[in-house]
Amino acid sequence: MAENLCPQCGAPLAPGATECKYCGEAVAPVPAPQPQYQQQGAYGQPGQQVQVYVQGDPNDGIDPSWPIKSKVTAGILALLLGGLGIHKFYLGKTGMGILYLLLCWTYIPAVVSFVEGIMYLCSNDHNFQVKNHVRLK
């Protein structure tokens, strides 16, 4: 069964939900896939109607206009230079990069970015793309 995912955080949505229960992002309800009928095929006798469900687009939630970035590069930058926010600049999140840069003397961004780097490297491709609004190489 295919699940609906939040376009902002990638969390699974309940059927018919109008907002994400994790991040609060408003989402448009996705209509249930309509069954298609075919007159004959491998599932039944000729002339017998068979219900066939069409799967959703495999690029659900990924906008083709997003910039192309590398997940591995973002993860390595977060692990090595994350205390300065370099990975945030790479992913196009300039505001967060400046915040990391301003607070780098506290070492808090270094700890947070180390965890982010591990999360980038361990996440699957689709979740990484949806959460960071990028496409993969």
Residues 33 and 5 in one domain: yes
Helix (H, G, I), strand (E, B) or coil at 29: coil
The string of pLDDT tens digits covering residues 10-55 is: 778 877 788 887 777 787 765 655 655 545 455 556 666 555 444 5
Same domain, 27 and 74: no
In angstroms, the CA 3 to CA 97 distance is: 33
Please give the average per-residue pLDDT across 91-118, as a whole number: 96
Residue 120 above 70 pLDDT?
Answer: yes
User: Residue 63 falls within a domain, yes or no?
Assistant: no
Q: Are 73 and 96 within one domain? A: yes
**CA separation for the pair 40, 27 (Å, rounded):** 38
What residue numbers bound the domain in which 23 lies?
1-56
Identify which has the larger pLDDT, 4 or 92. Answer: 92
Residue 61 falls inside a structural domain: no
Instruction: Indicate the residue type of 72.
Output: V
In angstroms, the CA 59 to CA 11 distance is 16
In the predicted structure, residue 4 carries a pLDDT above the cut 90: no
50 and 81 assigned to the same domain: no
Q: What is the pLDDT of residue 50?
A: 53
pLDDT of 49-102, one tens digit each? Answer: 555 444 555 567 788 888 999 999 999 999 999 999 999 999 999 999 999 999
- Residue 34, number of CB atoms within 10 A of its CB: 7
Whole-angstrom distance, CA of residue 8 vs CA of residue 21 = 12
